[in-house]
Amino acid sequence: MTIMNLIKYCLIALLVYFIICNVIIFIYAKQKPAANADTLVVLGSQVVGTPAQVPPTLQNRLDTAFDYLQSNPNTKVVVCGGQGSDESATEASVMADYLVKKGIDSSRVHLEDRSRRTAQQFVYANQVLPLGKTVVVTNDFHILRSIMLAKRSGINDISGLSAPIAYNNFDKYYAMIREPLALLNSWLFDHPLDYVDN
């Protein structure tokens, strides 16, 4: 087999992986969340500007979370995300402010403001308050990996609530390239319980 043929077969295998992985990711995102969860966990995403604002992709997550919280008044919510070097506030603080301004009582909103990666968010959220029966809110492309990491964090009573991204949003196409790689990386290397004592 020539080098060119080897490269060709590798590229074909990579393309097949991306196609299959994206199909599985978007099928998995269609699951229904459990009703009356103890806790809704909203995963963080980069906030922008000074003062920090919620960008459209994160707003999708928060609006989806708001609808669930309105329909399930006994559910608490943990908003997740620390402060990156290019952010003017923690993601969690900006997300909490958004939900409270929309009408969610502040006593229901809890902040996990230390995490820098998805693999940390469930571990740290579970340290903020015992999560119990949990629904995770994130964008559609992120549900499969998030639930995998939640289960690795010891949270087994979990379901996903997808905040879909429209096809006219560039983030959708970026995710189709990034998420299959991130899923493989998380499956191989992310072990959230390593963060328990951090």
Mean pLDDT, the chain, integer: 93
Name all domains of the chain by residue range, CATH numbers in brackets: 3-195 (3.40.50.620)
Helix (H) or strand (E) holding 94: helix 91-102
Structure confidence at residue 41 (pLDDT): 98
pTM reported for the whole predicted model: 0.91
Given a cut of 90, is residue 123 above it in pLDDT?
Answer: yes
Kindly state the greatest CA–CA separation across the chain: 65
Cβ-defined contacts of 13-20 (< 8 Å, 24+): 17/180, 18/176, 18/177, 18/180
Using pLDDT thresholds of 50, 70 and 90, give the confidence band for residue 47. Answer: very high
pLDDT (tens digit, 9 = 90+) per residue, 161-192?
Answer: 999 888 888 888 888 999 999 999 999 988 88
Structure confidence at residue 197 (pLDDT): 60
